[in-house]
Copies of this chain bind each other. A is one copy, B any other.
Amino acid sequence: MSINKLDQIDHSLLEILQSNGKITNAQLSKEIGLSPAPTLERVKKLETSGIIKSYHAQIDREKVGLGVMTFVQVSLAGHRKAVSEAFVEKISKVPEIIECHHVTGSCDFLLKVIAKDINSYQKLIMETINEIEEVASTQTMVILSTFKDTQVLPVP
């Protein structure tokens, strides 16, 4: 097995596949200027090496009736490891929480949360998140509009 040394072609592949995960191998090979066989071989290598983790369909939040997205800054009651672990454990079961990051700064965790509307968001925050005993306080930032939200990371 070869080592992870990405050349210019691999970078192009990653960039294209990040923005279009459903491109056909034939089309992909044209865009990078190789024949299908080595193109496929490179993509497979990126997949098996774990550089490409997965493929996802992106759906339109608004169109499926998820009109509200927020960031929630969470401060925990205490900072022992067990407290964090208990919190994370409970958070992981809530499907409306689509991101949960442990962060530096004035709060402990930052969550990204989606909901149908403000009412169901309020219900979620009051009856689910604030009810978690490890949570000391929360502060919500409601997203008014999103100007950029790309899946494409600039591979260095």
Q: Which residues of A contact B (CB under 8 A)?
A: 4, 6, 14, 17-22, 49-61, 63-66, 71, 88, 91-92, 95-105, 107, 110, 114, 116, 139-156
Contact = CB atoms under 8 A, between A and B. Distances in A.
A98 B147 CA distance: 10
A39 B89 CA distance: 36
A92 B147 contact: yes
Nearest to A66: B153
23 contacts: A4-B63, A17-B56, A18-B57, A18-B59, A21-B21, A21-B22, A54-B57, A55-B58, A61-B153, A64-B155, A66-B153, A71-B71, A91-B148, A95-B154, A98-B150, A98-B151, A98-B152, A99-B148, A100-B149, A102-B143, A103-B141, A104-B142, A105-B141
Contact of A14 (B59, B99, B149): B59
